[in-house]
Amino acid sequence: MNDYKIEAGTAQHIGNRPEQTDRTALFTGARAPGYMMAVLADGVSGGATASDQVLLTAKQQFDNFKPGDDPSIERLQTLLREIVLETHTVLNLNALTSKTEAHTTFVGLVITPKGTAVWAHVGDSRLYRFTRAECAVRTSDLPYVEHLVGTDKLPLEAAKNHRHSKLLVNVLGNSRKEPFVAVGFHENLAAGDTFLLASDGLWHFFTDSELGAVTSKNTPRQASELLINKAVERAQGKGGNCTMAIIKLVKPPKEVPNYTVERMRRAV
């Protein structure tokens, strides 16, 4: 039995944009007791169409997921990859009829009842894992850059500047290129571990140590309020959509013995 309980929450702020195109959600599996999933998507173009589709596909896939006794890390990573690829396919099919492409980033996290976390991401939204206040994991564009250099045979400097080319941008819904999915995992979760999924409208304004300090010292709700308020302040009227999901593992409360007192009968 895990020696922690999960506290989790999501939060958003529209920033200085006319529309909120980010989406985030927390799911439990209909056929996977004890499993949870967190998903975040940042709509890059086409409004919220693509990010809405991410949440729809993720919920459908997770509801159909049957883990069995002890699913491998690879199988859980495959689940997240399938969410990405199915969403990407749907977006491309929709683009054929609408004549307009809708793009989005993706971050997904699955936590199992046996204390394993598996995640995947596409694009510039981020996943962080903190051990108390220390940043142990921060997803980045580096795996994608290495992929471009190794697979597409691009020079390193050209790969580093991939965001400047529509052909090379790593998103779901790009008809010119399949999304590159970077994955990771961590076993033996414990109280004090915290995960943060964040769109660039949030993480852009903070250092890793700042995010770790805020999430470690506060509940998910308190932390999200503090981070959003500070992001809006630092944006100085130029901030974009700001979205996050916080999953925090904390020590369960101590059980208080519940004694009842009854008068004993006199022995005869």
Question: Rg of the chain over CA atoms, in angstroms?
Answer: 21
Is residue 180 domain-resident? yes
The 3-class SS string of 127-181 reads EEEEECCEEEEECCCHHHHHHHHHHCCCCHHHHHCHHHCCCCCCCECCCCCCCCC
Write the pLDDT tens digit of every residue in 88-112.
999 999 999 999 999 999 999 999 9
Closest residue by Cα to residue 192 from 207, 210, 212, 209: 212
pTM for the full model? 0.88
Is residue 255 domain-resident? no
In one-letter notation, the amino acid at residue 128 is Y
Lowest mean pLDDT across 3-12, 162-171, 195-204, 226-235 = 162-171
Residue 182, helix vs strand vs coil: strand
In one-letter notation, the amino acid at residue 205 is F
Residue 149 has pLDDT above 70, yes or no: no
CATH at 61:
3.60.40.10
Instruction: Give the per-residue pLDDT at 171.
Output: 95
Domain residues for the domain of 118 are 5-250
- Label residue 151 by pLDDT band (50, 70, 90): low
Instruction: Give the per-residue pLDDT at 165.
Output: 46
Write the pLDDT tens digit of every residue in 51-84.
999 999 999 999 999 999 889 999 999 999 999 9
DSSP symbol at 17: S
How many domains would you assign to the chain? 1
**CA atoms of 156 and 138, how far apart (whole Å):** 22
